[in-house]
Amino acid sequence: MRAATAAQGGVTIRDIARAAGVSAGTISRALKNEPGLTEVTRRMVLETARDLGYDFCKLRPKRLRRLTFLLHRQHNTAASSPFYSPVLHGAEEACRKQGIVLSFMAVGPADGLVDQLRMHAPDAIVCAGFFEPELLSALRATGKPIVLIDMKLRGYNSVNPDNQMGGYLATQHLIDRGRERVGFICGSMSHYSIRERARGYRQALFDAGILADPRLEAFLPDGVELEQGAWEAMESLLALPKPPDAVFCYNDSTALVAMRCCLSKGLKVPHDVAIVGFDDISTAVLGHRPLTTLRINKKELGALGVELLLGGRTDDVVERISPVELVVRASTVC
Tell which residue, 184, 174, 170, 249, has the closest CA to residue 216: 184
Of 174, 197, 188, which is closest to residue 279 (Cα–Cα)? 197
From its phi and psi, is residue 121 left (phi > 0), alpha (psi between -120 and 50) or beta?
left
Region for residue 223 given its phi and psi (left: phi exceeds 0; alpha: psi -120 to 50; beta: otherwise): left
Mean pLDDT of the 297-306 span:
97
Among 37-46, 189-198, 220-229, the range of highest mean pLDDT: 189-198
Tens-digit pLDDT profile for residues 89-147: 999 999 999 999 999 999 877 677 888 888 888 999 999 999 998 889 889 888 889 99
- Please report the domains of the chain, with CATH numbers, ordered by start residue: 13-59 (1.10.260.40), 66-161+299-321 (3.40.50.2300), 163-296 (3.40.50.2300)
- C-alpha–C-alpha distance, residues 219 and 221, integer Å: 6
| Beta bridge mates, 159 | 149, 320
Lowest mean pLDDT among 7-16, 78-87, 299-308: 7-16
pLDDT in tens, 266-282: 999 999 999 999 999 99
The mean predicted confidence, pLDDT, of the chain is 90
Q: Give CA angle at 74 (69, 78), nearest 5°.
A: 90
User: How far is residue 203's CA from residue 180's CA, in Å, rounded to a whole number?
Assistant: 15
CA-to-CA dists, residue 275 to 145, 270, 291, 321, angstroms: 40, 7, 7, 26
How far is the C-alpha of 146 from the C-alpha of 142, rounded, in Å? 10
Q: How much of the chain exceeds pLDDT 70, in percent?
A: 93
HSE toward the beta carbon, residue 185, CA cutoff 13 A: 32
* Chain centroid, CA 50 distance in Å: 32
CB-count burial class (<10 Å; 0-12, 13-18, 19+) for 137: exposed
Residue 180 burial (CB count, 10 A):
11
pLDDT, one tens digit per residue, over 36-63 is 778 788 888 889 988 988 877 666 556 7
* Cβ proximity of 272 and 179 under 8 Å: no
pLDDT value for 176 = 98
* Cα torsion through 205, 211, 216, 217, rounded to 10: 60
In one-letter notation, the amino acid at residue 192 is Y
Q: What is the pLDDT of residues 155-192, one digit of tens each?
A: 999 999 999 999 999 999 999 999 999 999 999 998 99
Q: How far from 33 is each of 58, 93, 134, CA to CA, in Å? A: 14, 25, 21
